[in-house]
Amino acid sequence: MVTVKLKPLEEIVDSLSGFEKIFIVGCQLGSARCRNGGLREAYRVAGYLELKGFKVVGVKSPGGTCVLDRLDYSARSLLNEIKETADVVLSLACGAGTQLIAENVPIPVKTGVTTLFIGAEREGRYFEEYCIACGDCVISDTGGICPVARCPKSLVNGPCGGAIAGKCEVDPNLPCIWFKIAQRMEQIGELEKLRKRVPPKDYSLSVYPRKLVLEE
């Protein structure tokens, strides 16, 4: 899931300085799941902005903001409502969702969140970065564990040699992910495959902006 973090409220207030009528758009997919930008947080931010003297003219969500471009009836009516009532949008959707809103309204759009990473949810209360969308996935050869996102050096041909007692030399609070990969490969009977040298990663596949075109 795309993981987002709500910006400090004072920073949000600063970004809205000079505007009067604010429409807050939450996202009920990733942002809500992270509890940092769904409707619940949108109402909390609205209350704070009202206390600071802003007029919040709407707090709504199209559901998934990153699919806004489908422009179904409910999305169209939300965009129309924004155009008719607000002079600025505060979006709590991820970077993609916020840009889609900006493409569809003729007024400024500010973000109230920072988009962090593609993460795995743990115990319903925290998220860990598991993928950086590198465009050249290698995890079939690493026991289903990503060394690109989960090794601070993104090493794809084994560990750097700096690990101490299985802990990463960059952050001792983390396991050396190559230790985990070796354990996993042993568990699934593929340890020998780690002897195979992996070709250098093709970073041309992660040059921005990328596009995925669906086939008919």
Q: How far apart are CA 39 and CA 24, in angstroms?
A: 9
Q: Find where tokens 């960059």 sit.
A: 170
Indicate the helix (H) or strand (E) that contains 153: none
CA distance from start to end of the chain: 26
Residue 159: name the closest of 179, 141, 187, 174 by CA: 179
Number of H helices, E strands in the chain: 7, 7
The residue among 14 and 202 lying less far from ligand SF4, judged by its C-beta, is 202
Q: Is 2 in the site for ligand SF4 (CB under 6 A)?
A: no
**90/149 with CB nearer ligand SF4:** 149
- Site size with ligand SF4, rule: CB under 6 A: 24
Q: How near is the Cβ of 96 to ligand SF4 at its closest, in Å?
A: 17
Closest to ligand SF4 by CB, 112 vs 119, is 119
Least CB distance to ligand SF4 at residue 95 (A): 17
CA distance 49 to 59: 12
Dihedral sign for Cα atoms in the order 54, 59, 65, 70: negative
Part in contact with ligand SF4 (CB under 6 A); list of ranges 64-72, 138-146, 186-194, 208-216: 138-146
Nearer to ligand SF4, 95 or 152 (CB): 152
Binding ligand SF4 (rule: CB under 6 A), the pick from 35, 55, 153, 193 is 153
The two three-digit tokens of residue 14, written as one number: 């600063």
Place of tokens 């970065």: 129
**Closest to 20 in 3D by CA, of 87, 116, 100, 104:** 87
Rule CB under 6 A: choose which of 24, 159, 185, 194 binds ligand SF4.
159
Binding mask 92-131 for ligand SF4 (x = CB under 6 A): ---------------------------------------x
User: Which of residues 112 and 159 has its CB atom nearest to ligand SF4 in the complex?
Assistant: 159
For residue 171, give Cα distances in angstroms to 92, 94, 99. Answer: 31, 27, 34
Nearer to ligand SF4 (CB atom), residue 34 or residue 177? 177
Which residues contribute to the site for ligand SF4 (CB under 6 A)? 131-134, 137-139, 146, 148-149, 151-153, 155, 159-160, 162-163, 168-170, 176-178
